[in-house]
Amino acid sequence: MEGKIPLIGEEFPRVEVRTTHGKKVLPDDYRGKWFVLFSHPADFTPVCTTEFFAFQKRYDEFRKLNTELIGLSIDQVFSHIKWVEWIKEKLGVDIEFPIIADDLGELSKKLGLIHPKIGTNTVRAVFIVDPNGIVRAIIYYPPEVGRNIDEILRAVKALQVSDEKKVALPANWPENEIVKDSVILPPPASIEKAKERLESKDHECLDWWFCYKKV
């Protein structure tokens, strides 16, 4: 398992971790909730600080989507705690979500977060995991590029709409240049269904293979 990145559709590996909120077991402690696990290269670094600030500013929006946040780096717990104190003192933001102290690198190796050609710190990775503990999305960034937190929030929303409505989401949803905030219907499974698709009044079509509707 070591060094193997979990694939989309696989269960998140079960692991006990130490965090700024005490011990937790992933994904067990988050059953029934979505969670976003994101790794950062190191505490007390400028780009990571801007990311934690941005995640916390949107934490309420994540929680409205039944989604929790979990940070991770190979720093120790005391480093996480001091960094969180610094962010509150200097930036006026209280980081409310837990941060995993993976100082032995065990979880980071399991998730493929340490890339030797880049360095010994974790890369900027994001794992979106659903209430059943299944990995639904994975995003990787190089150390020098900070994440777009709004895109991560959008991805969670999109996955939840897709699950509920059994649809796909277009590029830049909900602000797509062709269908705006509509969703994409799955392709028809037969010639007959393709013909019915064009005749239906429940949605709009550019062709039988490209139909969309409001939700």
pLDDT in tens, 143-189: 889 999 999 999 999 999 999 999 999 999 999 999 999 999 999 99
Domain 166-215: state its class: alpha beta
Q: Measure the CA–CA gap between 13 and 174, rounded to whole angstroms.
A: 32
More confident residue, 29 or 121: 29
Whether pLDDT at 1 is above 70: no
Partners of 128 in the β-ladder: 36, 137
* Ranges of CATH 3.30.1020.10 domains, the chain: 166-215
Average pLDDT over residues 49-63: 98
DSSP for 34-72 reads EEEEEE-S-SS-HHHHHHHHHHHHTHHHHHHTTEEEEEE
pLDDT value for 115:
77
Q: What's residue 2's pLDDT? A: 47
pLDDT at 195 over 70: yes
Q: Of residues 17, 37, 48, 72, which has the active-site annotation?
A: 48
pLDDT given for residue 121 in this prediction: 83
- pLDDT score recorded for residue 120: 76
CB atoms within 10 A of CB 47: 16
d(C-alpha 33, C-alpha 43), whole Å: 27
**Under CATH, domain 15-148 is a member of which superfamily?**
Glutaredoxin (3.40.30.10)
Quote the pLDDT of residue 122.
87
Q: Are 186 and 168 in contact (CB under 8 A)?
A: yes
Which residue intervals of the chain bear CATH 3.40.30.10? 15-148
Q: What percent of the chain has pLDDT over 90?
A: 82
What is the overall mean pLDDT for the chain? 94
* pLDDT > 70: percent of the chain: 97
Q: Side by side, which strands form the sheet with 183-184? A: 183-184, 210-213, 204-207
pLDDT range class, residue 35, cuts 50, 70, 90:
very high
| Predicted local confidence at residue 157, as pLDDT | 98
Report pTM: 0.94
Q: Give the pairing of strands 34-39 and 67-73.
A: parallel
pLDDT tops 90 at residue 105: no
Residue 167 confidence (pLDDT): 97
- Cβ partners under 8 Å of residue 85, min gap 6: none
Residue 112: band (very low, low, confident or very high) from pLDDT cuts 50, 70, 90 = confident
What are residue 100's DSSP bridge partners?
Answer: 19, 72
Average pLDDT on 66-74 reads 97
Compute the CA torsion angle 169, 173, 174, 179 (nearest 10 deg).
-70
What number is the average pLDDT over the span 191-203?
91
Confidence class of residue 5 from pLDDT cuts 50, 70 and 90? confident
Average pLDDT of the residues in 29-38: 98
Instruction: Give catalytic status of residue 211 as yes or no.
Output: no
Estimate the crossing angle of helix 77-91 against helix 46-57, to 10 degrees. Answer: 70
